[in-house]
Amino acid sequence: MKEAHHGEGDEKTYKFGMVIDLDKCTGCGACMVACMAENNISFRKDETDKLRSNFWMRVYKISNGLPFPDTEVSYIPRPCMHCEGYDHHHATPCVSVCPATVTDYNHETGIVSQIYTRCFGCRYCMAACPYHVRVFNWWDPRWPKGMEKYLNPDVSVRMRGVVEKCSFCFHRYQRAKNKAYAEGRRELREDEYQTACTQACPAGAITFGDLNDPHHKVYKLKKDPNAFRLLEKLGTNPKVYYVSTTDWVRKASDAYTGKQGEGVTPG
Amino acid sequence: MKLDRRTFIELSVGFSVGAGTGILLSPVNWKLMDDMTIWSQELWPRYQLGGLKGQLPQRGEVTHVDSVCTLCPGGCGITVRKVGDRATKIEGRAGYPVNDGGICILGAAGLQLLYGPWRVPGPLRRAGQRGAGQWEQVSWEEAIAEAVKKLAALRGEGNAHTVACMLGSDRGTVPQLFARFMKAFGSPNLMRTATAEDTYELTLGLMQGVTSSVGYDLERANFILSFGSGLIEGWGSPVRVIKAHSIWRSANVKERATVVQIEPRLSNTAAKADRWYPINPGTEGALALGLAHVIIKESLYDDNFIRNHTFGFENGTDATGKGYMGFKRLVLTKYTPEAVSRMTGLSSSKIINLARAFARAKYPLAVWGRGKGTMPGSVYECMAVHALNALVGNINRPGGVWARPKVATQGWPEVSQDATAWTGYGMPRLDGAGTKRYPLTGHRPERLFQMASEKPGAVEALLVHEADPYYTTLDSQAVARAFENIPFVVSFSSYMDETAHHADLILPNHHYLERWEDCPTPVGLQKPLLGLLRPVVAPQFDTKHAGDTLMTIARALGGTIANAFPWEDYEGLLKETLADQWDTLEETGYVEQAGYTPPAWEQAFGTPSGKFEFYVSAFDQVGMTMRKDVGYLPHYEPVKPEGDAALYPLVLIPTDLMRLADGPVGNPPFCTKTLEETELKGNDLFVEVNPETAADHGLSEGQYATLETPKDTAKVLVHLFEGIMPGVIGIPKGLGHTGYDDYLAGKGVNANSLLGVVEDPISGLCATWGIRAKLTRV
Amino acid sequence: MDSASAPFDSALIPKGVKRCQFKWFLLWIAILHGPLTIGVIATLMCWGLALNVTYLNNNYPFGLWIAADLGIIALGAGAFFTGFLRYIVKIDELKHIVNFAVIVGVVCYAAAQGILGVDIGQPLRGWFIFWHANVHSMLTEVAFCITCYFMVLCVEYLPLILENRQIYKFGFPRGFAHHLHEAMPTIAAIGVFLSFFHQGSLGGVPGVLYGRPFAFREGFLVWPWTFFLFILSAIACGPCFTILITRITEGFARKRLVKRNVIDILAKISGRLLALYLVLKTIDTVYWIATAGKVGAPLSSFYANQPYGYWVLITELGIFGVIPCILLLIKATRQNENILILACFLNCAGIFMNRWIMTVQALAVPVMPFDKFVSYHPNWVEYASTLLFVWAGAIVISLSYRYLPIFSQEKELNPI
Ligand SMILES: Nc1nc2c(c(=O)[nH]1)N[C@H]1C(S)=C(S)[C@@H](COP(=O)(O)OP(=O)(O)OC[C@H]3O[C@@H](n4cnc5c(=O)[nH]c(N)nc54)[C@H](O)[C@@H]3O)O[C@H]1N2
Ligand SMILES: Nc1nc2c(c(=O)[nH]1)N[C@H]1C(S)=C(S)[C@@H](COP(=O)(O)OP(=O)(O)OC[C@H]3O[C@@H](n4cnc5c(=O)[nH]c(N)nc54)[C@H](O)[C@@H]3O)O[C@H]1N2
Ligand code: SF4
Ligand code: SF4
Ligand code: SF4
Ligand code: SF4
Ligand code: SF4
Ligand SMILES: [Mo]
């Protein structure tokens, strides 16, 4: 993405975030595929080893663990949380640990970035992230002949041996910002910058916007009494909120309950 | 100098120290480091993309093209982002009446289908054995000449009627062209794949006397009772239904709708429902009647509708003076909550409470069609569910079931047939559809293959368009045998699917993103809509629009066949056919009847009584005289799964996964990638088994087992799932492909091969919902 | 020693000591090249085919390599700590073992860097850690200190090389070696300072991970408690490793190389430091249980999944902690040759276990409530490429022992 060059200091700042309505989310996976298509995510013939699969958006299936017919399942779409960090000091878990300043908390947008060409693959950031957001490129990406045609030029293609993750579709922000500047505006409208997953979701379960802007939908949604964030107690201070009216789902947001089969389980 | 031990040692020490220091201090290291970084950052990734020449992905002018997705019958509007001449992203089209910006997982992966290695590169003629994958690339002239030669020869021998044609749909100009071709050529054997929509159309014909498709006013319903419909697995027009689901889940608790899912397995729809009632598989019809019992007994039905607009609710006497039993009597005597509880396994109190909640809701809606609705199912079961809708008076009402007129004919000139065509076209259909036995049915695709496998010579040639019967038809082994008996198979497929793989000639169609075509109203939509596909990119391969291919063949066949196709080309035909709508279509991409409302009850019913008929008198009209009164009424007639319970103690049901396309379009790699690790592992498929059942069979999580049905045997992995009824095994549909490419081929098992066809007595369509099975440890 | 039986390479061997025949030495080196070659193949596979050849995955971005790295660095602490005791605390007897400690240190630090070179996904960009350094990252601190300290170790090793009989003949190396010896206290002090920081930062690596309650520790200023615990555990174990390697070398040489009183000093110090470490580690553990509980991670959640049951805690602190500690503190057991070796072994095993726990187990414990526990064990590629450095180290030590005057007491203990 080409970035318009303009003076510093006069930036409008945002705190972009998401609110995901788990009552609406159907687990359909459209967000995962939209993300893969938007962000040039590679794929392999066998992707059944989920521990080595490259997902920026991952939809987890969770279960209340009760036997038939009291079983219930729910889905939790999980992009990068774009954590603000401990005590609001902006010590994002993955950012503070990266030795080569590859990943950064952008104070203009609140987006945690990743420069693939600088990452040397030590994977320390992966160890720091409790959400399994970061993925490593265990293989060279390869596209079957002809398929490279659909690649998006706004997002660089990543090489093996580097770590990558959801960028809140940062290139879309840049695109929107360039357009706004060209039209003489310094501020983005809510609908001008939306992430690919938000846009695709057939259920409209994902809402994206500026968490600080009272005019944005996310501002109100995050205050829902049923809103919560994942692992809130750790102090990672995520910018992705979830809403669920189901008790056991809300309870599943914090506190690892130990052995599988006790309470919440992977579905 | 003499090289003695000492000098040798001194020299080597000196050299090592010198070289070490030299290398350490020289700038070569730094230069090399820098170069290698550039290699790893710039050149290596570029090499990954297929060469070091260009900068990839290339930049270019960004444009957007609106079109329609036809990867499923959903007909969503799409907007394709292009960079230069490359399509780089498919997004849902904002404002489109079906999906308003949303897109499904399959639609979002459409570009992988466009640019993937599974595309048929150009016209191909089989070179080796059938199915061996050996092809000879031929020119279009040659390929078409070959088809013409074979077809003309059959016609010359008086065997025009042995040419069969299998389509994926009968709506729109292209299927109509095929129908026209068959008529002009002289064969009655035009088939298309059948779905739950066929059964509902038949039900509307019987109970309402209309030739209509079913439309559901989902968005306004506030109590949705689903009889196993995979509302969010891809039922109906998938994005539209998921959007409706979100309306039901409105943040305003007061506006929230109640969703009840009836299904033996905790599907995603069941998981999202407010209540999930697992019942014995195949007993949905009984439950519908049990609910009807409570509603009638407690007088919770819509009195006005029942009294003034229905026929056969109460006992009566017909025109001949013969007395008949009404729906009320049947239901009150035979479907008491206790009796239904025994059949379904659901407690009577739940049945009673559910019936009350349903009838008391402001906009109750019962929906029918198992899973994605790809299997036609039982007519009486559909009638029972439809009767439930009638009881609460939600026929053609807001939030109810609408009979939506089928799109009008194209207004093309009549086909004039020559003698051969006239004789051939007049021969009986191979599938028996429309005959005395099945007067109401249009197509019985499974039967075609049964006939072909039983009677060599019955089908001498098969043309297949937008369908993959080799993969999607139940009882795959029978289909394979049928193919062996069909000497000439022509596929029009864009992809190397299973049917194409077993064809003799492939005349590849343009991909849906490369062509013009009309897309009539999507399945289940309540309002008529016409969408337009337009070429988003230039054809990527040496393909030809199926409409043009067909017309070229027709012209080469000459005579009345050629005369039946007076158009220059398909594009011209399309413009002419859509004449008055064309300008709007070209500009906006769709024509919508936004203000459409279905006819009021007074005008709605074309039955002999002019009313909604619980007691279907149309059966007599079409010559399907029933032996007992109950035959005219919605009732529960179990569809017995094939197999002996003693040999096969379990029941296998196919399950639908939203991330797995199970129709004629193979799952693209992105979608397959999203399958859970409890669904596919390597190339092995998991079946779902209740932990209790698994324990009985000595099976544990992740173990290999042999799954055996009367039709086939497969090696599977076991996934313990609390959400499936004990005694039932769930197998996902959509895997076990042999065509396409190894991004899909060889993964898992084709569920269709394990299932057989159980015919519905009324429609002759496939009423299968499962099969008996055995699971043993390996 | 008659010249006929003198080894082929006797001109390079220090005067007054006996070494085996050159052919036997060559054979030994050749044998070591067997597993070494397998290690080289494994390494080339990692570089050529990418890291999918390992059993690492997105849940286990750290595996054997990182655990081994941290363990090896801790074992190598014998070098700086013996230097510290010899040159700064001025325990003079240790001059008889400090040379060897330095060599073991060089091997350990080279191995650690080598392993990291295999572990990172883009080795060609490894130097970005210096170029784009992030001062907030513990790993940056580690990288800088380890690299600098490795240079220090090389400088400490250099005079030993220069003291080779043939090199020492020349005036320049002789003078240079002499000057280096003079500067050794200063160099040792720099080494101590650097080591303090990198040993601590290695502790900081897991300690700062507040997203991983298992590893996270509160602390002092910018350093988590693990920073200090790692330093302490390293110096409590490093000397034991030096003793262990000395004994192994003695075993191969089939003679004594260092006097027992020298060894005993190291063993005694090790025991006392281990005792101190165990006290502090216990306090840390109790405090950690309390703080982790507060963020919703009760102790039971850490030990709920096999193989990481409570036995891990007991083994690490009890069997590999308290037992060697007691054995080293009691004079009688410490001075029993076999028991001393056992104690040293247990102590070193404890360090490895601790480093594994702080890296691999820290990642194994699921954090998200709906996470699935998955187990990890390294595959042959990881083992082979890690052990590669053991074989390479054995070659370096063998060469050093044969050609360099390392053990100042060897002649005295083994008169010819
Ligand atoms: N096809 C094509 N290729 C090109 C070019 C072209 O015109 N066409 N142009 C070439 C030129 S001139 C250039 S400069 C390069 C640019 O090439 P790259 O540097 O690869 O460019 P981007 O993809 O814009 O940016 C890389 C990443 O940086 C992230 N990023 C953005 N802001 C920040 C931040 O503040 N902090 C961090 N840590 N990350 C951030 C973005 O999310 C993005 O993923 O491309 C070159 N390659
Ligand atoms: N919106 C947006 N703006 C950006 C950026 C962004 O990502 N987004 N990125 C910024 C960055 S990193 C860069 S480097 C700049 C690049 O900005 P520009 O330099 O404007 O880059 P291009 O559009 O790649 O090329 C400019 C023109 O040079 C022409 N050209 C090519 N070869 C030759 C030649 O041999 N001679 C001559 N005379 N002309 C030639 C091309 O046809 C093209 O019209 O853009 C910056 N501005
Ligand atoms: S696209 Fe929407 S509904 Fe589907 S899984 Fe993602 S968030 Fe859920
Ligand atoms: S979710 Fe993980 S990767 Fe994303 S900002 Fe937080 S710690 Fe970093
Ligand atoms: S893997 Fe890359 S981004 Fe992550 S910490 Fe290491 S250098 Fe930084
Ligand atoms: S915000 Fe963008 S990068 Fe992140 S998950 Fe959604 S689509 Fe992917
Ligand atoms: S629902 Fe059907 S029509 Fe709509 S985008 Fe998905 S595949 Fe295409
Ligand atoms: Mo640039």
Instruction: For residue range B341-393, list pLDDT tens digits in order.
Output: 999 999 999 999 999 999 999 999 999 999 999 999 999 999 999 999 999 99
Residue C6 in domain? no
Q: Is B722–A29 a contact, with Cβ atoms under 8 angstroms apart?
A: no
Instruction: Give the residue from B656, B648, B777, B775 showing the smallest Cα distance to B238.
Output: B656
Please report the pLDDT score of residue B638 as a whole number.
95
Nearest 10 degrees: CA dihedral of C45, C51, C55, C57? Answer: 180
pLDDT for C191-245, tens place per residue?
A: 889 888 899 999 999 999 999 999 999 998 889 999 999 999 999 999 999 999 9
Q: How far, rounded to the nearest angstrom, does the alpha carbon of residue B61 sit from its chain's CA centroid?
A: 37
Give the bridge partners for B259, in sequence order: B224
Name, in order, each residue with C-beta under 8 angstroms of B427's C-beta and a sequence gap of 6 or more: B161, B187, B188
Domains of chain B (ranges, CATH numbers): 5-48 (no CATH), 124-192+412-513+539-592 (3.40.50.740), 212-405+599-632 (3.40.228.10), 650-777 (2.40.40.20)
Is 90 exceeded by the pLDDT of residue C8? no
Ranges B58-62, B729-733, C224-228: which has the least confidence: B58-62
Rounded to whole angstroms, the Cα distance separating C63 from C48 reads 20
pLDDT for C198-207, tens place per residue?
A: 999 999 999 9
Q: Is B40–C167 a contact, with Cβ atoms under 8 angstroms apart?
A: no
Please report the pLDDT score of residue A90 as a whole number.
62
Among B10, B13, B37, beta carbon nearest to C125: B37
Is 80 exceeded by the pLDDT of residue B40? no
Q: Mean of the pLDDT values across residues B598-612? A: 94
Q: Is C120–A135 a contact, with Cβ atoms under 8 angstroms apart?
A: no
B527: CA distance to ligand 7 center in Å? 18
Q: What is the mean pLDDT of chain A?
A: 90
pLDDT over 70, % of chain B: 97
Q: What share of chain C is helix, strand, coil (3-state, %, to 5)?
A: 75, 0, 25
Q: How many CB atoms lie within 10 A of CB B328?
A: 20
Q: Exposed, middle or buried by CB within 10 Å (0-12, 13-18, 19+), for A89? A: exposed
Q: Mean of the pLDDT values across residues B503-515? A: 97
Give the bridge partners for A77, in sequence order: A59
pLDDT for C49-102, tens place per residue?
A: 999 999 999 999 999 999 999 999 999 998 899 999 998 899 999 999 999 999
Confirm or reject: Cβ of A131 under 6 Å from ligand 4.
yes
Residues 161-180 on B with a CB inside 8 Å of A are: none
Going by pLDDT thresholds of 50, 70 and 90, the confidence category of residue B281 is: very high
Whether C220 has its CB under 8 Å from any CB of chain A: the answer is no
Confirm or reject: Cβ of A94 under 6 Å from ligand 4.
yes
Number of domains forming the structure of chain C: 1
Residue C375 in domain? no
Instruction: Give the residue from C286, C134, C317 showing the smallest Cα distance to C218.
Output: C286
Q: Where are the extended beta strands (E) located within B594-692?
A: 612-613, 650-655, 680-681, 684-689
Q: Are B79 and B93 in contact (CB under 8 A)?
A: yes
Going by pLDDT thresholds of 50, 70 and 90, the confidence category of residue A261 is: very low
Upper half-sphere CA count for residue B419 (Cβ side, 13 Å) = 2
Q: How many CB atoms lie within 10 A of CB B456?
A: 13
DSSP class of residue B495?
B
pTM of the model: 0.90
Q: Is A230–C368 a contact, with Cβ atoms under 8 angstroms apart?
A: yes
Partners of A253 on chain C (C-beta within 8 Å) are: 369
pLDDT for B650-666, tens place per residue?
A: 999 999 999 999 999 99
What is the β-pairing status of strands B529-533 and B590-592? antiparallel
Q: Is B89–A68 a contact, with Cβ atoms under 8 angstroms apart?
A: no
Q: Is C11–B5 a contact, with Cβ atoms under 8 angstroms apart?
A: yes
Is 60 exceeded by the pLDDT of residue A264? no
Best of B7, B8, B10 to disrupt the C interface (most C CBs within 10 Å) is B10
Going by pLDDT thresholds of 50, 70 and 90, the confidence category of residue A125 is: very high
Give the bridge partners for B304, in sequence order: none
Whether C57 has its CB under 8 Å from any CB of chain B: the answer is no
Please report the pLDDT score of residue C347 as a whole number.
96
Is 90 exceeded by the pLDDT of residue B8? no
A2: CA distance to ligand 1 center in Å? 7
Best of B218, B249, B260, B735 to disrupt the A interface (most A CBs within 10 Å) is B249
pLDDT over 90, % of chain B: 85
Is 60 exceeded by the pLDDT of residue A88? no
Going by pLDDT thresholds of 50, 70 and 90, the confidence category of residue A259 is: very low
C178: CA distance to ligand 1 center in Å? 54
pLDDT for B543-563, tens place per residue?
A: 999 999 999 999 999 999 999
Alpha carbon of C369: minimum distance to chain A alpha carbons (Å) = 4
Partners of A159 on chain B (C-beta within 8 Å) are: 40-41, 44-45, 48
Ranges B8-17, B667-676, B713-722: which has the least confidence: B8-17
ipTM here: 0.89
Q: Are B186 and B424 in contact (CB under 8 A)?
A: yes
DSSP class of residue B319?
T
Q: Are B728 and B772 in contact (CB under 8 A)?
A: no
Domain that holds residue C346: 14-365+380-410
pLDDT for C30-46, tens place per residue?
A: 999 999 999 999 999 99
Going by pLDDT thresholds of 50, 70 and 90, the confidence category of residue A262 is: very low
Q: Are C15 and C166 in contact (CB under 8 A)?
A: no
- The domain ranges of chain A are 16-266
Q: Are B290 and B356 in contact (CB under 8 A)?
A: no
Please report, as a single letter, which amino acid is at residue A181.
Y
Q: Is A71–B723 a contact, with Cβ atoms under 8 angstroms apart?
A: yes
Q: Are C284 and C217 in contact (CB under 8 A)?
A: yes
pLDDT for C155-176, tens place per residue?
A: 889 888 888 888 878 878 788 8
Please report the pLDDT score of residue B409 as a whole number.
62
Minimum Cα–Cα distance from A47: chain B residue: B673
Q: Which residue's alpha carbon is nearest to atom 12 within ligand 2? A: A2
Please report the pLDDT score of residue B405 as a whole number.
84
Instruction: Give the residue from B300, B303, B394, B290 showing the smallest Cα distance to B345.
Output: B290
B114: CA distance to ligand 7 center in Å? 15
Q: In the structure encoding, which two tokens stand for residue B345, read together?
A: 């396994």
**Sign of the CA dihedral A136, A138, A142, A143?**
negative
Please report the pLDDT score of residue C116 as a whole number.
94
Whether C12 has its CB under 8 Å from any CB of chain B: the answer is yes
Q: In the structure encoding, which two tokens stand for residue B771, read together?
A: 């099969």
CATH architecture of residue range(s) A16-266: 2-Layer Sandwich (3.30)
Please report the pLDDT score of residue B186 as a whole number.
96
C214: CA distance to ligand 4 center in Å? 18
pLDDT over 90, % of chain A: 78
CATH number, domain at C54?
A: 1.20.1630.10
Whether A24 has its CB under 8 Å from any CB of chain B: the answer is yes
Rounded to whole angstroms, the Cα distance separating C27 from B702 reads 50
Confirm or reject: Cβ of A2 under 6 Å from ligand 2.
yes
Minimum Cα–Cα distance from A78: chain C residue: C368
Give the bridge partners for B777, in sequence order: B705
Q: Is B9–C166 a contact, with Cβ atoms under 8 angstroms apart?
A: yes
Is 50 exceeded by the pLDDT of residue B104? yes
Query: What size, in residues, is chain C?
Result: 416
A83: CA distance to ligand 4 center in Å? 5
Residue C7 in domain? no
Please report the pLDDT score of residue A5 as a whole number.
47
